[in-house]
Amino acid sequence: MVSLTEEIHGLMRVMWSGKWAVVTPHTVLSAIWTHIPSFRGYCQQDAQEFLCQLLDQLQNELLKCPSGLIIKINNPWRDTVLARDLLKSLFEGQLISTIVYSNCGHTSFVCESFWDLSLELAITTLQNTSSRRSLSNSSTLFDSLNKFTATEHIDDNIFECSRCQGQHQSIKKQLLIKDPPEVLRIHLKRFRFINNCWRKLTNQIEFPMELNMYRYCNHDNQSVGVVNGEEDTVYDLSSVIVHHGNYSNTGHYTAYCWNNDAGCWVHCNDAKLNRSSSEEVLKSQPYVLFYARRRGRSPVLNRLVNDGDESGPDTKHMRTENI
């Protein structure tokens, strides 16, 4: 059985070869149906859920690579990566959770890896005259990040301190980024259960082309990991997934993708690709955002596919058209 990784790699090589105006990814779809059975068929699916399962599957397959297999990537900050660490080296970051116990003041740290940040929309619930709930209609990505990294007071449980073994009724907890990933994926939680139904929050979220994550990173405690400086945490927007529709189980997805070679934004809508402007991208209603760390401005994936065999593995499902 051909792995999903091989199919995706083949598709990338063909797409970036510059030889084909149209690529029909039948074999990738078939491989997805084989390897991710919950996405088999033509049901409406969630893009964020698909990305999680796709990356999980690819990572599991890469873990089967021989332990010493090395891939050349020629990035400014590293030349090679172990095949089994390829996706981790792109998408994985580390969060650090700081917990302060209220009574004794003990501070503990817990680190965990993440492949995306799932953020609440920072919207406020307002009461109008008919006492139906209405929501203020705009907020910024920074509001959501501030909320995600804000110190939380938790007092609805009993917490045992690892140092004094005391039972405490309240703690303060804060999440910060310890190691920023090369590609930061931000999922905005637009779907909310309201009146017994999953509804989409259609609020406008302002987001920047350039995102500096410095203030959301840990730089207080030298012993548990810090970023090198503000210039180390600058990201550039590379893609935006947009969900069109008002419900979670229906709708349509399109995406804006930055094309490094052409130096322009491209709006991808099924088979239609159109050049787009930064203004149009920033006006879109984002569902998932991808930011590439600036030190890796030439994305690793571009380098990988360009370094590969450009003839592609199998062209029988592809056709060319005059541009």
**Would you say 63 or 164 has its CB closer to Zn ion?**
164
**Would you say 37 or 166 has its CB closer to Zn ion?**
166
From the CB of 106, what's the least distance to Zn ion, in Å? 4
Q: 274 is written with which tokens?
A: 């159109």
In sequence order, what are the residues at sequence separation of 6 or more whose Cβ sits closer than 8 angstroms to the Cβ of residue 179?
A: 93, 94, 225, 227
Q: 283 is written with which tokens?
A: 């006006």
Number of helices (H) and strands (E) in the chain: give both, helices first: 7, 22
Sign of CA dihedral 306, 277, 284, 269: negative
Establish if 171 lies at the interface with Zn ion (CB under 5 A).
Answer: no
Kindly write down the DSSP assignment for every residue of 9-35, as one continuous string: HHHHHHHTTS--SB---HHHHHHHHHH
> Is the Cβ–Cβ distance between 265 and 282 less than 8 Å?
no
> Is the Cβ–Cβ distance between 300 and 71 less than 8 Å?
no
Q: Report 25-64 residues binding Zn ion (CB under 5 A).
A: none
Establish if 161 lies at the interface with Zn ion (CB under 5 A).
Answer: yes
Establish if 70 lies at the interface with Zn ion (CB under 5 A).
Answer: no
Q: How many residues bind Zn ion (CB under 5 A)?
A: 7
Establish if 104 lies at the interface with Zn ion (CB under 5 A).
Answer: yes
Give the span between the Cα atoms of 173 and 43, in whole angstroms: 40
**Would you say 16 or 101 has its CB closer to Zn ion?**
101
From the CB of 191, what's the least distance to Zn ion, in Å? 39
Q: Pick the piece of the chain touching Zn ion (CB under 5 A) from 114-122, 162-170, 206-214, 281-289.
A: 162-170
Name which position in 22, 164, 194, 197 contacts Zn ion (CB under 5 A). Answer: 164
**Would you say 161 or 257 has its CB closer to Zn ion?**
161
**Would you say 106 or 219 has its CB closer to Zn ion?**
106
From the CB of 157, what's the least distance to Zn ion, in Å? 15
Binding site for Zn ion (CB under 5 A): 101, 104, 106, 161, 163-164, 166
